[in-house]
């Protein structure tokens, strides 16, 4: 018992953040053990441990208003929320845990003789040395504990997208959270690796920017720009279709985004209204590179994976033959047509019928569409990829874009024809309430095996010279 620094009953929030359980807590060195009762702990039947060396901090919290005398311990895997019976007991636990953490750090990193000698020179130099040492020992790796979860802004089969605030500077970001178990079950490892690799390369005004990636035992996290003007899909649903100038403006910025991707050897493969966001100042921002393909540098480079969203699939994808960057320009033509008319050109509620129409139905262009727009649509929605217009230079010089100053457009110097109604750059007015009313907390699905964890080696990333302040 001599190595036990403190023990007693505390309440701990469950791994899935669903309920609170009374547990027997024991602090040994810098590790907290918790079990159902004292006997279970003595028999080695702990339910879990918390390594305080990995903890960013140990402090009181008001994040759980239904529980009093609550403190939190963020670690790379999760944030632990613990409640004591009294305020004094909470402070006692916080104090002894902090001491245990510091003692273990000091034990592993004893001061050198030079440091000891310098420490006795003057009190001012000692203070400076201590501050520098503390700053250097701060955790430089960004993790889940560095963000406050605010609102759900999207959801899919792999996880959630959250609006979050970074604790140190208050900046708002979008946090895309993917479940490792789901990725493994659906055989999506390569797509996930590719998405991270692609996002790291992007630096374009019309493509979402990646700031950090990190992981816990059960989840992957992408920290991205927060774009709050709403999805193009959201605005199309509300307004049915857009006027000609607005379509031309959006199309111009999308062309620049696709041009940038293709020059990087990246095939987007999922251009659709749901993946085109509108910024608070009215520009477009393309997002979601989960099924994008990198490495297609040469003009004749091809791939053959069947993927994408049915309405926007090019005929060559449906045929099952190898395809190249021309598929993105077919999707672009489909999206342009939809913005002008309200529906994709070959739409049907029956997916198989829609596939048949994409393959063989006549392209019908309404009379109210301008001649130059109709001409470009015919060239984009050409079924033969060899005849389809696909060189960005040819598209940008097309009569449809005659009024566009591409240099000014790329510099965002052209005033957008539509500015979303937002109260601030951080607000959620244009986010679907289907998402924003959902519980922001992340369920813990449980860790994967050590062997499976190896598949995610190297996922954690942040730009050079980036660290916690």
Cβ(43)–Cβ(33) below 8 Å: no
With residues binned 3-state (H G I as helix, E B as strand, rest as coil), the percentages for the chain, rounded to 5, are 35, 20, 45
Q: Which residues contact 163 (CB under 8 A, 6 or more apart)?
A: 150, 151, 152, 153, 172, 173, 174, 175, 226, 426, 428, 431
Directed axis angle between helix 326-341 and helix 232-239, to 10°? 30
Beta carbons within 10 angstroms of residue 84's beta carbon:
23
3-state secondary structure of 161: strand
What's the angle, vertex CA 401, arms to CA 257 and CA 340, rounded to 5?
80
CA distance 354 to 344: 10
Residue 106, exposed/middle/buried by CB under 10 A (0-12, 13-18, 19+)? exposed
Cβ(225)–Cβ(285) below 8 Å: yes
Nearest to 228 by CA among 83, 415, 430, 88: 430
Q: Judge whether 300 counts as a catalytic residue.
A: no
CA distance 190 to 182: 13
Residue 257 region, left (φ>0) first, then alpha (ψ -120 to 50), else beta? alpha
CA distance 374 to 406: 21
N- to C-terminal Cα distance for the chain?
Answer: 40
- From the candidates 77, 270, 288, 328, which is the catalytic residue? 270
- Residue for token pair 């309405």: 311
* Catalytically active residues, by annotation: 270
């Amino acid at each position: 018992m001599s190595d036990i620094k403190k023990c007693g009953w505390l309440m701990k929030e469950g791994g899935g953040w669903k309920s609170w359980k009374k547990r027997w807590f024991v602090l040994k060195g810098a590790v907290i053990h918790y079990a159902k009762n004292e006997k279970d702990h003595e028999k080695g039947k702990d339910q879990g441990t918390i390594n305080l060396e990995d903890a960013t901090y140990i402090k009181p919290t008001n994040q759980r208003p239904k529980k009093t005398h609550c403190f939190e311990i963020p670690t790379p895997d999760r944030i632990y929320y613990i409640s004591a019976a009294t305020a004094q007991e909470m402070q006692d636990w916080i104090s002894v845990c902090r001491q245990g953490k510091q003692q273990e750090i000091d034990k592993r990193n004893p001061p050198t003789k030079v440091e000891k000698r310098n420490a006795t020179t003057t009190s001012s130099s000692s203070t400076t040395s201590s501050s520098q040492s503390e700053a250097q020992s701060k955790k430089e790796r960004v993790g889940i504990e560095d963000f406050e979860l605010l609102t759900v802004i999207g959801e899919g089969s792999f996880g959630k997208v959250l609006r979050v605030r970074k604790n140190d500077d208050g900046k708002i970001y979008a946090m895309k959270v993917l479940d490792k178990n789901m990725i493994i079950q659906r055989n999506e490892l390569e797509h996930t690796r590719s998405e991270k690799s692609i996002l790291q390369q992007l630096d374009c005004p019309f493509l979402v920017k990646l700031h950090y990636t990190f992981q816990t035992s059960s989840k992957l996290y992408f920290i991205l720009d927060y774009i709050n003007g709403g999805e193009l899909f959201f605005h199309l649903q509300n307004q049915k279709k857009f006027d000609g100038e607005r379509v031309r403006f959006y199309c111009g910025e999308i062309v620049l985004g696709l041009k940038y991707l293709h020059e990087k050897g990246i095939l987007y493969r999922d251009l659709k209204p749901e993946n085109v966001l509108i910024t608070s100042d009215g520009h477009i921002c393309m997002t979601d590179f989960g099924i994008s393909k990198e490495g297609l540098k040469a003009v004749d480079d091809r791939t053959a994976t069947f993927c994408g969203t049915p309405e926007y699939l090019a005929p060559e994808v449906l045929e099952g033959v190898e395809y190249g960057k021309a598929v993105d320009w077919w999707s672009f033509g489909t999206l342009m047509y939809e913005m002008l008319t309200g529906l994709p050109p070959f739409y049907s509620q029956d997916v198989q019928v829609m596939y048949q129409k994409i393959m063989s139905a006549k392209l019908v262009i309404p009379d109210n569409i301008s001649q130059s727009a109709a001409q470009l649509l015919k060239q984009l929605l050409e079924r033969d990829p060899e005849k389809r217009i696909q060189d960005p230079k040819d598209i940008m010089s097309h009569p449809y874009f005659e009024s566009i100053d591409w240099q000014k457009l790329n510099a965002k110097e052209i005033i957008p024809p539509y500015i979303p109604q937002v109260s601030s750059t951080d607000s959620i007015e244009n986010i679907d309430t289907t998402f924003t009313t959902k519980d922001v907390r992340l369920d813990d699905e449980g860790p994967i095996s050590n062997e499976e964890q190896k598949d995610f080696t190297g996922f954690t990333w942040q730009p050079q010279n980036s660290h916690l302040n």
